[in-house]
Amino acid sequence: MKFWYRLPFRTRLGIVSAVLLVLAAVSMYLWISDPIHNKPISALIRFAPIMLLLCLAWVELKNIPRWFWLAVPIVLLAGFIKPAIWFLIVPAVLVWLFVRN
């Protein structure tokens, strides 16, 4: 088991996401023959591609500034408390993304 922890995190994330994608394919096959497997397949089909995208974008995610990780939950919380603020948040973020380059 020490071998697993010596692997880089990105590699471990890729292996786990590949296993989840295989499990999603097997669950899809089982769902065709038996509709009881509906809940596991929906969770795997949603979660596995997200983990694969995280694995592929890991290097870029490490370059995101630390203040951004603090600002995102605050902005999301403000948007969920008062949904009308999304009309200000979304255009402001889009303008910031276009201007910063």
Say how many domains are in the chain: 2
Instruction: Quote the pLDDT of residue 101.
Output: 56
pTM: 0.57
**Residues 40 and 14 grouped into a single domain:** yes
Sort 99 into a burial class: Cβ within 10 Å, 0-12 / 13-18 / 19+. Answer: exposed
**Residues 9 and 55 grouped into a single domain:** yes
**Residues 39 and 51 grouped into a single domain:** yes
**Residues 57 and 70 grouped into a single domain:** no
**Residues 46 and 15 grouped into a single domain:** yes
Cβ of 17: how many Cβ atoms within 10 Å? 20
Q: Are the CB atoms for 21 and 47 separated by under 8 Å?
A: no
**Residues 56 and 80 grouped into a single domain:** no
Please write the tens of the pLDDT for every residue from 19-49: 888 888 887 777 777 666 566 677 777 888 8
CA–CA distance, 76 with 69 (Å, rounded to integer): 11
> Helices then strands (H, E): number in the chain?
6, 0
